Amino acid sequence: MKRVLVSIAVVLMPVLLAAQDAERPDVLFIAVDDLNDWVGVLGGHPQAKTPNIDRLAARGITFTNAHSPSVICNPSRTALLTGLLPSTSGVYDNWPDWRTSDAFAGLPTVFRHFRDNGYRTLGAGKIFHAHTFGGVSNFEGLNDPTAWDAFYPSLTRQLPDAIRPTVIPANGNPLGTSFDWSVVVAEDMAIGDGQVVGWIERQLAAETGSPRFIAAGIYRPHLPWYVPQKYFDMHPLDDILLPPTIENDLEDVPEIARGSYLDSTEWHDWIVESGKWAEGVQAYLASTSFADAMVGRLLDALDRTGRADNTIIVLWGDHGFHLGEKERWRKMTLWEESTRVPLIIVAPGVSTPGTRTAEAVSLMDLYPTLTELAGLDTPGHVEGQSLEPLIRDPGAVRDKPALTTFPYNSHSLRTERYRYTRHADGTEELYDHETDPNEWKNLAHQTRYDRLKADLARWFPEVNAEALGEPPDE
């Protein structure tokens, strides 16, 4: 009798495993580079046109108060994809190779964890940080070579985005070629992002017997802002609204906060002096609309498969972006423009279409959220907190603020109402978003907020790992 039962079990095991795989949800993981809150559903700019991101939001839950773990590509992406905060790993800037650090030894990235648990993992475009040289993006970059069943471009090949103006910089700036924008003559699918999305479309259409984790990295609106004319036409230059600013905005912030990273204040000075502020805003809005069109293609491709009802969809931006606020362009600050990001999750059977929550959350929360939604164990090293309770009940309350770190030992905490920042030199900033959504009035010096600051300060990291790696030679 025992032999018979064993035989039956042997015969049924593949069937049971196949049934288990069929029940597991697929994952479509969409990363959009340098995307701030200038999307329709977040209202960061009244002229943003992102109908596809908005229709994705209508399918699931939008986290209107989501923030990045850092404010530059490599530390932000490394943190959320590995599960370790910058203050734990020491990855604070773009140059460190996280794969060389003992801090990550033996710890699976989110993709590797899903692959180890029976998922077929497919990726394309900028997922981990990718270095760009001479306009050629190397999407191998700092990728996890153990994480993928297939990756496009291959981990040994570069994808040239050769659709660019003949004269660079096309906007006439005297400061370099990276901060540039221009109309280009090209079809969407000839541009690097179009090639990435085309590959993902083909993977979505393919039949498979196992659950899939598909990651799509969209490069725009990362600089340079080279997109076809039709996207500029969506945002007529004469109608462009500039972001709200005030004179002497930086008078009440610490000296350390006035530092210029990536020549951000120099770019602002040139833009104001040359009268190109509206042009820059138009180019960013156009590039965001182009990225939105890529998102639309991905959603359409998923819908054609008939598997959307069993697919978790996540869309996120890796950090925000200044376009003149705080007298800056680009990123790398601990203000709202640089930390706030879009985060939308569709979790069939868990999320309710068209819901929102203003609870402060972090991109660090994505790793444990995805494992919980997929029914997998969460590795013990992961420092985020699952968003599943908020996805299930958008009215739920969270007491943990969102933490952003940049650079070493400089941290900012965001709650539903406040932002509290403590810089490496001990100086502080405090903003009340209920009365000051633009962070124009620093309240940190007012003694009536001492108790609030002390209560928030307990969330600052107790450990600040030494910075990993040395900056490259110039």
- Catalytic residue, candidates 45, 67, 73, 113: 73
- Catalytic residue, candidates 45, 67, 113, 129: 129
Q: Which two tokens stand for residue 234?
A: 């969506």
Catalytic residue at 268?
Answer: no
Catalytic residue at 222?
Answer: no
Q: Is 186 buried (19+), middle (13-18) or exposed (0-12) by CB count in 10 A?
A: middle
List active site positions.
73, 129
